[in-house]
Amino acid sequence: MAAIAAGLAAHRDDFQIRAFLIEQGIAVLPGARALRNSQFAILENRADEISPRMSDPIVGLYEDWLWLDELIETVSQEIEEISQNEANCRRLMSVPASRR
């Protein structure tokens, strides 16, 4: 559940960053990867259009996004370890439909 909540929060950060950029008249290609790959180039190349007061929250949201990605990875690894060590989990994971 924590991974799901963190994933939703990361998705929210994506939308908030996009909203800040759109308010400045800057559109970014769809998808989280496109935003991540272009965010700092946009902030650097359009520094004359984006004030530090606007770029600071965008950078902060990006840092939150990275932290949430790390949290999701950590929780996913913990779940994977538990699923391999608990007999009930191993039995459940052996059912083909449960691997989706």
Which range has the top average pLDDT, 2-6, 7-11, 64-68?
Answer: 64-68
Chain-centroid distance of CA 52 in Å reads 23
The per-residue pLDDT for range 58-75, each reduced to its tens digit, is: 888 888 888 888 888 898
The count of domains in the chain is 1
Burial class (CB in 10 A: 0-12, 13-18, 19+), 50: buried
Give the C-alpha separation, 63 to 91, whole Å.
38
Residue 42 clears pLDDT 80, i.e. is over it: yes
Q: Which domain holds residue 93?
A: 2-99
* Confidence at residue 98, expressed as pLDDT on a 0 to 100 scale: 52
**Per-residue pLDDT averaged across 25-34, rounded?**
85
Residue 86 scores a pLDDT above 60 = yes
